[in-house]
């Protein structure tokens, strides 16, 4: 497996492997002591909690014939201004990740504010 950093602070691959193995699993996301991991196919993306500035749930919906389709994304804003869109299979897992971050990573702002789109803070 290849570990890809979403932020600027890169970690040794061996340290990441150890933390990933012991991390709490919530669907595609694993929550380690220092990093949030996201597994998609054979890549594992990671970011340290210290580099996260904002996290929120994004819901996209559409239709396919008679069927309503909903997709859920965990949106992460990094200290460098990067916005990362992580697809989640289940809404409940995304909400648990947000609750975990709210409880353990106080510097991370939870939720989306429409003013953010307009450039206000």
User: 86 with 31: CB under 8 angstroms?
Assistant: no
Convert the pLDDT of each residue in 2-17 to its tens digit: 999 999 999 999 999 9
Question: Where residue 1 falls among pLDDT bands split at 50, 70, 90?
Answer: confident
Beta bridge partners of 66: none
- CATH class, domain 2-118, is mainly beta
With the C-alpha atoms ordered 63, 65, 67, 69, is the resulting torsion angle positive or negative? negative
Angle (CA) 112 59 116, round 5°: 20
Domain assignments of the chain as residue spans, ordered by start = 2-118
Convert the pLDDT of each residue in 83-120 to its tens digit: 999 999 999 999 999 999 999 998 899 998 766 654 54
Question: Where residue 20 falls among pLDDT bands split at 50, 70, 90?
Answer: very high
Convert the pLDDT of each residue in 47-90 to its tens digit: 999 999 999 999 999 887 888 889 999 999 999 999 999 999 99
């Amino acid at each position: 497996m290849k570990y890809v950093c979403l932020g600027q602070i890169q970690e040794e691959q061996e340290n990441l492997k150890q933390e990933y193995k012991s991390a709490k699993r919530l669907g595609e996301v694993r929550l380690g002591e220092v990093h949030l991991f996201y597994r998609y196919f054979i890549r594992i993306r990671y970011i340290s909690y210290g580099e996260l500035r904002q996290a929120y749930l994004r819901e996209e919906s559409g239709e396919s014939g008679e069927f309503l389709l909903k997709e859920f994304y965990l949106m992460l804003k990094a200290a460098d201004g990067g916005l990362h869109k992580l697809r989640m299979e289940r809404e409940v897992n995304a909400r648990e990740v947000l609750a975990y971050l709210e409880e353990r990573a106080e510097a991370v702002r939870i939720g989306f504010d429409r003013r953010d789109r307009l450039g206000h803070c």
